Amino acid sequence: MLRSKASRWVAAPYLVWMAIFIVVPLFIVIWYALTNADGAFTLQNLAEIGRYSSVFARSLLLAAEATIICLILAFPVGYFLSRLRANKQHIMLMLVMLPMWMNFLLRTYAWMTLLEKNGLINKLLGLIGLGPLNMINTSGAVVLGMVYNYLPYMILPLYTAMTKIDDSIIEAAQDLGCSTFQTLLRVLIPLSKPGIATGITMVFVPAVSTFIISRMLGGGSNLLIGDLIELQFLGNSYNLNLGSAMSLALMVIVLLCMSFTSSFDEEEMEGVM
Amino acid sequence: MKTQNKRLLQRAYIVLIFGFMYLPIAVLIAYSFNENKSRTVFSGFTLDWYRSLFHNEMILSALGLSLVLALVSSVLATVLGTLATIGIHSMSRRTQLIVNNISYVPVVNPEIITGVSLMLLFVLLQKAGIGGEGGIFGWFTLLIAHITFNVPYVIFNVGPKLRQLDSSLYNAALDLGCTPRQAFFKVIMPQLTPAILSAFLICLTYSIDDFMISYFNCGTMQTLPIAIYSMTRKKVSPEINALSAIIFLVILAIILISNHMDSRAYRRNQAAIRKGAAEV
Amino acid sequence: MQLKRLCTLGAAFLLLPVCATPALAAEEIVVNEDISVSGDYDWTRFANDNITLNVYNWGLYISDGSDDSVDVVSAFEELTGIKVNYTTFDSNESLYAKMKSGGASYDVIFPSDYMVGKLIEEGMLAPLDYDNIPNISAIGEEYLGWDFDPDNTYSVPYMWGTTGLIYNTTMVDEAPTSWSALWDVQYAGNVLMFNNSRDAYAIAAKRAGLSLNPSSVEEVDQVMQDLQDQKSIVQAYVMDEIFDKMEGGEAAMAPYYAGDALTMIEDNPDLAFVHPEEGVNFFVDSMCIPSTCKNKEAAEMFINYMCETSVGYANCDYIGYSTPITAVWEMLDDDLKYSPIAYPGEDVMSKAEVFVTLPDEINAEMDSQWSQMKSYDESGGSWMVVIFLLGAVALSGFNIWRKLRKKMRDNY
């Protein structure tokens, strides 16, 4: 169907667009990364990244923590939602997505109000005679910010994957003598794998590259890759070449991370998106 | 007994997670009624911020820009993406794979890289003299950036639907004397419409909320997220809180109304089925 | 040298009776009850040209109509018919980056002294035509002719000020008098620090008894080491976030600009401000026109407008920085006029130092050291990267192997 030669041409505008605004910019990044300010070829930018390995390590670690926490929190949510009645599912899903429509800077800013030394949480704790806890400007606060902002990205694909699991399969497993834990391990998790994979990428990728969350909740001392890149392009240390090299490194990390998920069937992935 | 406990536990968990997700929003809205401008002290109730919001030209023009930009870029991205999907569909398997993989790039690439790489491209174009004296950055760079990160979402939403379509319907239309064009618009399009609409909505959401890509490509323009960002670095005016309270209520209302209509349609459907069954 | 001159002149003002009468008030054009401008300037010549000026200023650095202040920008639009697109930045460096990358073209910008010098050096500013800025005569002479722009070819002073230490009196045992307080372990986790390399460097340098303008790369490295040592004490690196944080009692002390300290103290009387004894930074923020500007004459009109007495007064009243416009200073309330924070005396000014534009090499070192200082992590952890990379490579290798195996199997 629709496989006439002529209909191929309707993709032409997009192909041109794609070439100019997706492919060319990537090559520009690579080109900047491999040249110095005078435009001569150099590997120094890439070598210099080594100096910032602690930032890369911190970003990876915090993003990984956030991803795991998201997965643990979201898995039951996805499951419960997928077992609701159809019309209830609809509204619950909307409620999961609603926070995403609020500006994410403002939501993160609201966390500042909550977490600060004189913030709301500490005030509440004070009422019952606890605290004050030191929460803001720690790496824990950054992880919290990531979990909070990207949790819906984990819930949605998990939910989508789980709606495809029939109740009868779970019942069958239980009838055959599986404990709850075994059902989870042997049935639920394997069947929701595509959702887990998509969820992991959709949380990990933005988390590893964010610079807003660390700036607002981390106090600027928990520098992440995103901050470092922003610093090179629009901040204190203006250096397009080094910034491009860092972007390149980040891209490689993300591609490696994607190789986790690419091991799943492509069609399945698309259905989940 | 046991299942009841389980259900209670489930409910409690869901409530807890939703509480976590809505807590900051509650704070946000609460502070829109704060008399004091400070983020830490709640001194009294006022509606002044709602009033002054409508006189704050900076916020209103940023909001206006964001809305127009989101609308225009989503429409263009949807058209471009739908055409692309149809075109890609008729390509060979190998080309399809290549095009799809490249289209994935803006989806999986960190936003900061998409933003930065587009900025570098525009800088080069500007150096080449495109954009004239005033420089290239502004409305068009913003629009291009937004379309670029929106199109893939259209492709990946409409693509699977197109593949699932029953091709015999299209062929039947042709057999019955439709031109391919007619067959396309009368048979294929109606079936794709839900997917296209949902893609459009996704674009709209991403575009309105996008900060990072816009941040690098906005020139001297300010979208709402950029205006908010420049505020979060000093004092966020409670007018912004007021604005988000309004946005929140509007979206909530839309959700509730659509859900209400959905469930009414659902009930009517069920009733019709029952009635049909009874008649038979 | 010039600082001394400035102080003596300042002192002279105190002694002189207020002699400037509002000359020829009849000729003034009244825009609104707060803003009126001189009548012998053609303000409306661009009224029908549909011009938009892109003005790029520091955050919270103009009287913008919030908190019942005067909205000077909209008054300008009303007066001239020129539209102003007003946006803000938070450090000289981000202003520079935005201009340098070509990511935006502005018509009027507000860089500080050393950045003016740097922009001039790189040919990024346009020389001003003072025929269009007659109000230059309103600027006190002692604020003109600084080293970064000796003949004021490119810049008109907007505000000046000093840095100092702002602290919360309820959170410190004794009032700090030295920058060393920012390194004091008893305030660990209670100290905020500048989030821009030049200002942060200046503090560490002054504490070490060095000039805030380093003369060698080694000097930069040495001072940056001090900043790195300070990291465990610093709660957060901030710029304008400091307003909320200090006013809300989130931290005990922080270095910041004197004018902003006044605003904070007004909102939270527990706060106090001191000029540390080692000496402070004296800065002049200027108005300049980038060489890419399209409507230079209109931009000059904006600068001229900003130097009008009533406008200068509105700004000064709202942002609390020190004004270079003599007539404005005379109009101020006594408590601001004689405030030791905004207009410090000889003891402070004699020890104050001005930023100069640094040579490229030293600048680059400062930038890269700053990135490294910020990314420094006591607990180390760089080995993590290696492990992650190895793991990822192993995993993708495993995936490829699995796919190959599957393909082989499919083939048979």
In order, the DSSP letters of A71-84 are: HHHHHHHHHHHHTS
Query: Within this chain, do residues C110 and C140 fall inside the same structural domain, yes or no?
Result: yes
CA distances, B39 to each of B13, B27, B28 (Å): 30, 10, 10
How confident is the prediction for chain C on average, in pLDDT? 87
Query: Within this chain, do residues C190 and C265 fall inside the same structural domain, yes or no?
Result: yes
Closest Cα of chain B to A102: distance in Å?
7
Whichever domain contains B109, its CATH number is 1.10.3720.10
DSSP state of A52: G
Residues in contact with B136: Cβ distance below 8 Å, sequence separation at least 6, in sequence order: B122, B125, B126, B130
- The pTM for the full model equals 0.87
Task: Specify the 3-state DSSP secondary structure of B279.
Answer: helix
Query: Within this chain, do residues C25 and C138 fall inside the same structural domain, yes or no?
Result: yes
Most confident of B31-45, B185-199, B252-266, C147-161: C147-161
Which H helix or E strand runs over B212?
helix B212-217
Work out whether strand C191-194 and strand C234-238 pair parallel, antiparallel, or are unpaired: parallel
Is B274 within the bounds of a domain?
Answer: no
Residues in contact with C173: Cβ distance below 8 Å, sequence separation at least 6, in sequence order: C186
Closest-CA residue to C158 (of C18, C303, C12): C303
Average pLDDT over residues B32-48: 81
C277 burial (CB, 10 Å; 0-12 / 13-18 / 19+) is middle
Closest-CA residue to C181 (of C275, C281, C282): C275
**Cβ contact B234–C60 (<8 Å):** yes
- For residues A69 and C312, give the distance between their C-alpha atoms in angstroms, rounded to a whole number: 53
Residues of B in contact with C271 (CB under 8 A): none
Residues in contact with C161: Cβ distance below 8 Å, sequence separation at least 6, in sequence order: C257, C258, C259, C282, C283, C285, C321, C322, C342
**Predicted local confidence at residue A260, as pLDDT:** 64
What's the half-sphere exposure (Cβ side, CA atoms, 13 Å) at C97?
23
Residues of C in contact with B119 (CB under 8 A): 101, 103
User: Could you give the dihedral angle defined by the CA atoms of residues A136, A138, A140 and A144, in that order, rounded to the nearest 10 degrees?
Assistant: 40
Closest-CA residue to A115 (of A151, A96, A142): A142
Query: Within this chain, do residues C173 and C113 fall inside the same structural domain, yes or no?
Result: no
Assess whether pLDDT exceeds 50 at residue B99: yes
Closest Cα of chain A to B133: distance in Å?
22
Residues of A in contact with C89 (CB under 8 A): none
Assess whether pLDDT exceeds 90 at residue B267: no
Is B185 within the bounds of a domain?
Answer: yes
Closest-CA residue to B69 (of B143, B149, B144): B143
Query: Within this chain, do residues C35 and C12 fall inside the same structural domain, yes or no?
Result: yes
**Contact in structure between C296 and C189 (CB atoms under 8 Å):** no
Query: Within this chain, do residues C246 and C125 fall inside the same structural domain, yes or no?
Result: no
List pLDDT tens digits, range B4-21.
888 899 899 999 999 999
Is C81 within the bounds of a domain?
Answer: yes
- Break chain A into its structural domains and give their ranges: 57-224+257-272
Range(s) of the domain holding residue C185: 161-281+363-375
**Cβ contact B40–A18 (<8 Å):** no
Q: Which of C374, C389, C399 has the most A C-beta neighbours within 10 Å, making it the best mutation to test the interface with A? A: C374
Predicted ipTM of the assembly: 0.87
Task: Specify the 3-state DSSP secondary structure of C28.
Answer: coil
CB-CB: which of B81, B91, B180 is closest to A8? Answer: B91
Residues in contact with B93: Cβ distance below 8 Å, sequence separation at least 6, in sequence order: none
Q: Which two tokens stand for residue A34?
A: 């491999």
Work out whether strand C191-194 and strand C52-58 pair parallel, antiparallel, or are unpaired: unpaired
In B84-135 the beta strands, taken as DSSP E runs, fall at none
User: Could you give the dihedral angle defined by the CA atoms of residues B142, B147, B152 and B158, in that order, rounded to the nearest 10 degrees?
Assistant: 150
- Respond yes or no on whether the N-terminal peptide bond of residue C269 is cis (omega within 30° of 0): no
- For residues A173 and A165, give the distance between their C-alpha atoms in angstroms, rounded to a whole number: 12
Range(s) of the domain holding residue B161: 57-240
Per-residue confidence band for B135, with pLDDT thresholds at 50, 70 and 90: confident
CB-CB: which of C88, C243, C249 is closest to B235? Answer: C243
**Cβ contact C234–A221 (<8 Å):** yes
- For residues C130 and B140, give the distance between their C-alpha atoms in angstroms, rounded to a whole number: 35
Is C344 within the bounds of a domain?
Answer: no
Q: Which of A16, A106, A211 has the most B C-beta neighbours within 10 Å, making it the best mutation to test the interface with B? A: A106
Task: Specify the 3-state DSSP secondary structure of B151.
Answer: helix
**Contact in structure between C223 and C230 (CB atoms under 8 Å):** no
List pLDDT tens digits, range A182-238.
888 888 888 888 888 889 888 998 899 888 898 889 887 778 899 889 888 877 778
Q: Tell me, what amino acid is at C188? A: A
Query: Within this chain, do residues C66 and C130 fall inside the same structural domain, yes or no?
Result: yes
Total domains, chain C: 3
Query: Within this chain, do residues C204 and C253 fall inside the same structural domain, yes or no?
Result: yes
C165 burial (CB, 10 Å; 0-12 / 13-18 / 19+) is buried
Is C172 within the bounds of a domain?
Answer: yes
Task: Specify the 3-state DSSP secondary structure of C285.
Answer: strand
**Contact in structure between A202 and A154 (CB atoms under 8 Å):** yes
**Predicted local confidence at residue B62, as pLDDT:** 92
Is B28 within the bounds of a domain?
Answer: no
Average pLDDT over residues C377-392: 65
Query: Within this chain, do residues C313 and C175 fall inside the same structural domain, yes or no?
Result: no
Total domains, chain B: 1
Closest-CA residue to C271 (of C248, C238, C237): C248
List pLDDT tens digits, range B151-183.
999 998 898 888 888 778 888 888 888 888 888
Per-residue confidence band for A268, with pLDDT thresholds at 50, 70 and 90: very low
Is C380 within the bounds of a domain?
Answer: no
Q: Tell me, what amino acid is at A231? A: L
Is B221 within the bounds of a domain?
Answer: yes
How confident is the prediction for chain B on average, in pLDDT? 87
**Contact in structure between A49 and A57 (CB atoms under 8 Å):** no
Per-residue confidence band for B138, with pLDDT thresholds at 50, 70 and 90: confident
Query: Within this chain, do residues C155 and C303 fall inside the same structural domain, yes or no?
Result: yes
Q: What are phi and psi of C55, to 5 degrees?
A: -105, 130
List pLDDT tens digits, range A86-126.
878 888 888 898 888 888 888 998 998 899 888 888 888 88
**Predicted local confidence at residue B3, as pLDDT:** 75
CB-CB: which of C236, C388, C395 is closest to A259? Answer: C395
Is B16 within the bounds of a domain?
Answer: no
What's the half-sphere exposure (Cβ side, CA atoms, 13 Å) at A41?
0
Q: Please give the residue of chain A at the shortest CA–CA distance from B119.
A: A25
Whichever domain contains C230, its CATH number is 3.40.190.10
**Predicted local confidence at residue A4, as pLDDT:** 63
Residues 217-246 of B with CB under 8 A from A: 224-225, 228-229, 232, 236, 240-241, 244
**Contact in structure between B112 and A230 (CB atoms under 8 Å):** yes
Q: Which of C105, C243, C246, C250 has the most B C-beta neighbours within 10 Å, making it the best mutation to test the interface with B? A: C105
Task: Specify the 3-state DSSP secondary structure of C156.
Answer: strand
Q: Which of B94, B103, B120 has the most A C-beta neighbours within 10 Å, making it the best mutation to test the interface with A? A: B120
Q: What are phi and psi of C163, to 5 degrees?
A: -95, 165
**Predicted local confidence at residue C22, as pLDDT:** 46
Beta bridge partners of C55: C86, C108
Tally C-beta pairs within 8 A across A and B. 233
Query: Within this chain, do residues C17 and C147 fall inside the same structural domain, yes or no?
Result: yes
CB-CB: which of C98, C231, C377 is closest to A54? Answer: C377
Torsion sign, CA atoms A154, A155, A156, A162 = positive
Residues above pLDDT 90, as percent of chain A:
31
- For residues B62 and A103, give the distance between their C-alpha atoms in angstroms, rounded to a whole number: 13
Is C350 within the bounds of a domain?
Answer: no
**Cβ contact A234–C368 (<8 Å):** no
* CATH architecture of the domain with range A57-224+257-272: Orthogonal Bundle (1.10)
List pLDDT tens digits, range A9-39.
888 999 999 999 999 999 999 999 999 888 8
Closest-CA residue to A142 (of A47, A31, A229, A224): A224
Query: Within this chain, do residues C302 and C390 fall inside the same structural domain, yes or no?
Result: no
**Cβ contact C267–B38 (<8 Å):** yes
Per-residue confidence band for A265, with pLDDT thresholds at 50, 70 and 90: very low
